[in-house]
Structure 1
Amino acid sequence: PPGLRSISFVASLASDGGLAVAKVRIETGRTHQIRVHLQDRRTPIYGDDVYGIAEWNKKLEAKQRREREGKDPRPLLHAARLEIEHPSKVDADGDPKRLVFTAPMASDMISVVESIWGEARMEMPEYFS
């Protein structure tokens, strides 16, 4: 709902002057939060057909259709790491148990990231495994 507080921390990791690789950490979990906050900063997500830039998305769409074997294009947004507190389990100190989930980037996203930031694999290997 409008008016609810939402907090995102954004860091640009690399840029080619037009596109950038960003790392975003959210403190709240609002619907579309990252997409809305990046659009508000005038740095929308590449491929986002709701909050993105239509002209850029058309360029990406053709490339993604080739690389994804005809699958529908998608925003280049990746959740590399998610941490949540388990709703009913606690650790030895009685604090909520933290669950951590990680996932490597998809190949179509890797090619875009590496075109912007050639050293990405060396700088952030955890996202490529």
Structure 2
Amino acid sequence: MFYRKSCEENDDVFNAVDGAIDELLEVGYREEADLLTDAMPDIENERGKRPDPEPLLNLLQPIKSAGLEYFQSGNKNSHSYDLCTSFSKELAYVRRALLEDREYIGTRNAFNRLLAAYEQLSQYMYERFHQLGGVPYNYHGHDSRN
């Protein structure tokens, strides 16, 4: 880490190592020169080109402003509202990461957080509201109350 930092901050260190590599190649020490070349840090001041975030932003609509709503259950043992709000916040966080054009790691972490919130919500809904056959716990066979 110290070597990389000194190469990035000071061109003299980078030039000295580069000169040593050239001399090793001239003398015929190809393997040693390759080892030093591999050890040199890649110094790029330019950031790689990013893909356009618009298709993802169009797909990941914010929950409240898209007209989607979640309702608090009257059941005191229900955690669906908390999980829905958590999912909504993580979705907003992903959208913000895309809009701010964050680095790869920050964007990946935002998507991982969204995926974890979705998995929690999905697992809770599946365990809580489905039996074998996929009907709710309180389903009594009434198709319509009309």
- TM over 0.5, yes or no? no
> Highest Rg: 1 or 2?
2
Is the helix fraction higher in 1 or 2? Answer: 2
**Larger RCO (CA under 8 A, 6+ residues apart):** 1
Greater strand share, 1 or 2?
1
TM score, norm. by length of structure 2: 0.26
